[in-house]
Amino acid sequence: MMRNLLLTISFDGTNYHGWQVQGNAVTVQQTLQDALEKICSNRDNIVGCSRTDAGVHANMYCCNMRTESTIDCQRLVGGLNAILPRDIAALDCKEVDFDFHARYDCKSKEYIYKIWNSPNKNPFIFNHSLHYKYPLDEKFLSEQAKAFIGTHHFDSFCAAGSSVEDTERTVVNAAVEREGDTVIFRVEADGFLYNMVRIMAGTLIDISRGKIPADSIEQIIEARNRSAAGYTAPARGLFLNKIHY
């Protein structure tokens, strides 16, 4: 009997070229499918909730798999964690309706972008944050980020050359907070364009350093032009943080 399983994993994306299987690079999806094939004796297709770029991490990533395997869900989690490399972890598994789709049934996603805000480098988090040595006022930046909230066309915050035709997305929350020397940009939306969060983060940093005027995010959104926004912050600071179904 065919079952549909919802897997929740987390991963450090440093050593991977994103989620999606590629012919000439190691990806998270390929690595997970290799492990599942060893356990289930069949290479079932895995449907991911999102396409993450090379170097991007996930505190929570969901995917579903239709399989004839009868293995118990918790045994599958244990088996995966025994096989998977140390930078990918299986967190949970449960049986869901057969028509459930990890991507299309997703109501919203939350990303966080981490900035190590200190004059000194930190070698232990280099692969998991952007190092920005100049002072950042997280309260000021949080006020700036509020302009992202709402339903807008986010062309200005999409990588040039993207083939996406519908650029309208609804952002339900955007804020900046501080935890010690780590400044965190947090944004939740019903979907994201290619490099959208990284360009948002880069724009906030450019506002902080005066390269982009304060209170201009609304005008940048209205411009619908990539050149109006700030730079694209590096992938290593970005985490897919929560998936809401």
Residue whose token pair is 């919802």: 6
Q: Is the pLDDT of residue 31 over 90?
A: yes
* CA atoms of 91 and 132, how far apart (whole Å): 32
Q: Is the pLDDT of residue 180 over 90?
A: yes
pLDDT of residue 45: 87
* CA atoms of 188 and 169, how far apart (whole Å): 11
Residue whose token pair is 């940009």: 185
Active site residue 53: yes
pLDDT of residue 162: 78
Beta bridge partners of 130: 115
Residues of the chain with CATH 3.30.70.660: 108-244
Confidence class of residue 77 from pLDDT cuts 50, 70 and 90?
A: very high
CB atoms within 10 A of CB 26: 14
CATH class as words, domain 3-96: alpha beta
Q: Is the pLDDT of residue 41 over 90?
A: no
Are 65 and 37 spatial neighbours (Cβ–Cβ below 8 Å)? no
Angle at 62 between CA 129 and CA 107, to 5 degrees: 95
Listing DSSP states for 118-182 in one string gives: SSS--TTSGGGSEE--S---HHHHHHHHGGG-EEEE-GGGS-TT---S--EEEEEEEEEEEETTE
Task: Give the residue among 48, 50, 49, 62 at the shortest CA–CA distance from 10.
Answer: 62
The catalytically annotated residue of 44, 53, 181, 206 is 53
Residues of the chain with CATH 3.30.70.580: 3-96
| 100 burial type by CB count under 10 A (0-12 exposed, 13-18 middle, 19+ buried) | middle
CB atoms within 10 A of CB 233: 24
Q: Give the chain's mean pLDDT.
A: 96
Are 16 and 31 spatial neighbours (Cβ–Cβ below 8 Å)? yes
Interval 121-177: pLDDT, tens: 999 999 999 999 999 999 999 999 999 999 999 999 999 877 788 999 999 999 999
Fold of 108-244: Alpha-Beta Plaits (3.30.70)
DSSP letter assigned to residue 52: P
Beta bridge partners of 114: 184
* CA atoms of 71 and 80, how far apart (whole Å): 12
* CA atoms of 41 and 29, how far apart (whole Å): 17
